[in-house]
Structure 1
Amino acid sequence: MRSDSDLTGRARIRDAALKLFGAEGVNRVSVRAIAARAGVSAALVLHHFGSKEGLRKACDAYVVEMVRGGPGADLDDVSGLAAMLEASSAMRLYLGRAFLDGSPAAAALFDDIVAAAERWLEEGVRTGRVRPSDDPRARAAVYVTWLLAPLTFGEHLTRALPGGGSETDRTLRTSRAGIEIFTRGLFTDDRVLDAWDAVREERRSP
């Protein structure tokens, strides 16, 4: 890790914005607050990024690139999902807010990861590691959403799982619970699924 003194002014501003945007939301943070956090003038922030919106876009681009594993990285190994879980707290908070706020860059990233997860799961079906699905796309979207839940529900998970240790410990605990459900299943028979299908069929009836 580099110290603040090792970073360029532009990078210090970006990192300060990441922390403040993630903790408080873009709309609640001023350019002056970012400048104070970075130890620079508000004029320098505007010089580098043009506006707060320009800075937000720069943060989006930086975080998405880091999650993707760097320029030109391939998401087909779903490595981006692991990177999100292992990212720094500031980056995790920022990305969680970006998904909730509808950031265009975060939305594009989500779509890319769902597509990659669908390909990955279908390859698992072909090799016998994954059970077939009636709706592969929906399964991939739900799977990705579950994996991203700690980014947006971290505060609630902390409250629901008291005494869970560090953030990493809580992530491992919740991930283990999810993997157990995906691997072993949850219900012992098809009653819940049948009831769900009955509701869907009823809605389709004229």
Structure 2
Amino acid sequence: MRSADLTTAARIRDAAIELFGEQGFGVGVRAIAAAAGVSPGLVNHHFGSKDGLRAACDDRVLEIIREEKLRTVAAPAPAGILHAMAEIEMHAPLVAYMLRSFQAGGALAQSLLEHMSTDAEQYMQAGVDAGTIKPSRDHAARARYIVLCHVGAMNLYLQMRMERGGKLDFRKAIRDLSDEVSFPALELYTQGLLTDSTMLDTLFKE
């Protein structure tokens, strides 16, 4: 596509991520087009259908998560982590979008989860290669477990704070979540939990 077409498509996609996150996937193409400042016909021209637009939104959300995670695991200096935590509110639209996606369920939500797990394998392997993450006896299983834990905890935390009608200040909510879980999560990931490997060794042999 021409650069102007790419810019228009990106504007539509980004507007859709915002609106899907705020209102859910029942929002119409006309509302998305209005938010992006284009005609409804341009939405279908670029993405073919609403499902096509949602798939493009998924791709963009995954791309941003992958880039941020790669940057963090490759060089987890204290200054970098503090900087990321200071800017966490800027990711509120992505968090809202993911919550709506998993609430909606279905094939697209399943696809998003599978891609998140695959991406986690890649950026965690980058951390292993960089020497910032310990190797695992089952790298793929560990990556999937972490994604399931993080996604599940995030969804539960946000869902419990939603008002009637699905309204929520996502920026405040993810700041509160970060403040609540950052220390125990880092402690657990850094120091571990169990004092010996007996249970792990027993389970791994079976």
Tell me, yes or no, whether TM beats 0.5. Answer: yes
Pick closer, same or farther for the CA change 1:154–1:18 going to 2, 3 Å. Answer: farther
Offset of residue 31 of structure 1: 1.2
Q: Which amino acid aligns with 1:92?
A: V
CA-atom RMSD, angstroms? 4.2
User: Sequence identity, in percent?
Assistant: 37
Structure 2: state its 5+ residue gaps.
1-6, 75-80, 163-171
Q: Which amino acid aligns with 2:43?
A: V
Paired residues of 2:70 and 2:126 also in contact (CA < 8 A)? no
Higher relative contact order (CA 8 A, sep 6+): 2
Q: Which amino acid aligns with 1:20?
A: L
Find the partner of 1:107 among 89, 98, 114.
114
- TM-score, reference length from structure 2: 0.59
Offset of residue 17 of structure 1: 1.0
Map residues 48-197 of structure 1 onto 2, 5 A cutoff.
48-69=46-67, 75=70, 78=73, 86=88, 88-98=91-101, 101-102=108-109, 104=111, 107-117=114-124, 120=127, 130=134, 135-149=138-152, 151-156=154-159, 158=161, 167-186=174-193
Paired residues of 2:62 and 2:115 also in contact (CA < 8 A)? no
Paired residues of 2:66 and 2:119 also in contact (CA < 8 A)? no
Paired residues of 2:58 and 2:112 also in contact (CA < 8 A)? yes
Paired residues of 1:95 and 1:151 also in contact (CA < 8 A)? no
Structure 1: state its 5+ residue gaps.
1-7, 160-164
